[in-house]
DNA sequence: GGTTGTTAGTTACAAAATCAACTATTAGGT
DNA sequence: ACCTAATAGTTGATTTTGTAACTAACAACC
């Protein structure tokens, strides 16, 4: 309230992170939503499968910290729209392995290239060393290292 | 898919930003939810009013990039729970000025101090100069400078 | 080999976010 | 003054998320 209150909302890291995340994902959302009618979680699942290859729902959830119900619904939709297929694990039949169809892979490649371009555009806001530092700091804040 | 695919999901800025934002706001959510039963948008509105003083719904929405229906509902709840009051502008009667009650101010001060401590804890992950740089970069990514 | 505990994934119901349409008021042009 | 457009904020219908309870399969222990 007072002026000597040195802590401004604009300096609060969770707030800044949220604003930056929102801004950057909104721009990209238009692409996957517009071209493929995907929701955020669906896009994230697709990107994981495209990036890492065959995975289970659990693995995606753990790696991306997405709740399993969200994954479950995203997977169902992606399957219905022929982006991926499921195959039951032979050893452990609770587990399902998710694989992109060729259609899914094409969508991944398309979105991947847009993402890459967009990422370069964002990175270009800063000198290369700083952009690299930023990524490192974000990873630490996300708790993944 | 292949190994020479140099663009990893873990390097995609919107993804990293989202992960970091999610991680940091989840931790803080427990505080305002637990102590005051507030939702994310309510907390954000409260913080804006505490930080900048009297504002209109529109101003908060513009500054924080929150949709007006979210603000509208958050304001109603904060009013019902006596955190703030509304007064119609005399010149333009479409506009409502929002002000924290003393109860609202107390809640703000309480949460503010928790936020400040938490922010310091996050900042302490990095050398001071880098933490400062991080804030600057996030502000740029958020498009606010 | 049966009981208990755990894990992968789904489903049902409640809470919240989104989108479009709405009211009330002001602004601008003619 | 009158018609149209714009703005602040609200409401209702639909979509999406979150929470908890659930099924099915496996593991571990006695």
How is A54-79 classified by DSSP, letter by letter? SEEHHHHHHHHT--HHHHHHHHHHHH
Please name the residue whose C-alpha is nearest to the C1' of nucleotide C17: B70
Q: Which of residues 7-46 of A touch B (CB under 8 A)?
A: 7-25, 28, 44
CB atoms under 10 Å from CB of A20, counted, come to: 26
In angstroms, the CA of A60 and the C1' of D25 are apart by 20
User: Residue B27 in contact with residue A133, Cβ under 8 Å?
Assistant: no
Nearest CB among A14, A51, A133 relative to B8 is that of: A51
% pLDDT > 90, chain A: 90
B50 touches chain A (CB under 8 A): yes
Asked if residue B1 has pLDDT above 70, the reply is no
Candidates 1.10.260.40, 3.30.70.1060, 1.10.10.10, 3.40.50.620; CATH matching B9-141:
1.10.10.10
In angstroms, the CA of A104 and the C1' of D12 are apart by 37
The predicted model gives A97-121 an average pLDDT of: 96
**Rounded mean pLDDT of chain A?**
93
User: Chains A and B: how many Cβ contacts under 8 Å?
Assistant: 156
Please name the residue whose C-alpha is nearest to the C1' of nucleotide D25: A94
The predicted model gives B100-123 an average pLDDT of: 95
- In order of A20, A126, B82, B85, B143, the CA distances from B125 in angstroms are 19, 21, 37, 39, 25
Nearest-CA distance A127 → chain B (Å): 11
Contacts of B16 (CB under 8 A, 6+ apart): A135, A138, A139, A142, B10
User: Residue A29 in contact with residue A118, Cβ under 8 Å?
Assistant: no
How is A118-137 classified by DSSP, letter by letter? HHHHHHTTS-HHHHHHHHHH
What local confidence, expressed as pLDDT, does residue B27 receive?
87
Enter the tokens of residue A138.
Answer: 């974000």
Is A137 close to B134, i.e. CB distance below 8 A? yes
Question: B8, B23, B138: which to substitute to probe chain A, counting the most A Cβ within 10 Å?
Answer: B138
Q: Which bases of chain D come closer than 7 Å to a protein CB?
A: 7-12, 16-20, 24-27
Strand ranges for B1-145 from DSSP E: 55-56, 84-88, 96-100
Residue B124 DSSP symbol = T
% pLDDT > 90, chain B: 88
Nearest CB among B5, B17, B105 relative to A138 is that of: B17
- In order of A106, A129, B21, B111, the CA distances from B29 in angstroms are 39, 33, 12, 11
Asked if residue A3 has pLDDT above 50, the reply is no
Is A24 close to B10, i.e. CB distance below 8 A? no
Is A119 close to B7, i.e. CB distance below 8 A? yes
Asked if residue B7 has pLDDT above 90, the reply is no
Asked if residue B102 has pLDDT above 60, the reply is yes
Asked if residue A1 has pLDDT above 60, the reply is no
The predicted model gives A9-14 an average pLDDT of: 92
Q: pLDDT grade, residue B5 (50/70/90)? A: low
Output helix, strand, coil percentages for chain B, rounded to the nearest 5.
Answer: 65, 10, 25
Instruction: Please write the tens of the pLDDT for every residue from A71-83.
Output: 999 999 999 999 9
Q: Which of residues 62-91 of B touch A (CB under 8 A)?
A: 64-65
CB atoms under 10 Å from CB of A115, counted, come to: 22
What local confidence, expressed as pLDDT, does residue A2 receive?
47
């Amino acid at each position: 309230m007072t002026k000597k209150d040195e802590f401004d909302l604009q300096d609060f890291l969770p707030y800044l992170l949220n604003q930056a995340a929102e801004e950057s994902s909104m721009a990209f959302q238009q692409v996957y939503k517009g071209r493929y009618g995907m929701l955020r979680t669906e896009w994230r699942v697709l990107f994981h499968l495209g990036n890492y290859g065959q995975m289970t729902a659990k693995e995606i959830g753990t790696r991306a910290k997405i709740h399993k119900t969200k994954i479950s619904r995203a997977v169902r939709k992606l399957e219905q729209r022929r982006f991926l297929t499921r195959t039951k694990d032979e050893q452990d039949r609770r587990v399902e392995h998710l694989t992109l169809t060729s259609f899914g892979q094409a969508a991944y490649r398309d979105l991947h290239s847009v993402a890459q371009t967009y990422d370069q555009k964002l990175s270009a806001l800063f000198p290369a060393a700083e952009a690299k530092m930023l990524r490192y700091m974000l990873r630490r804040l996300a708790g993944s290292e």
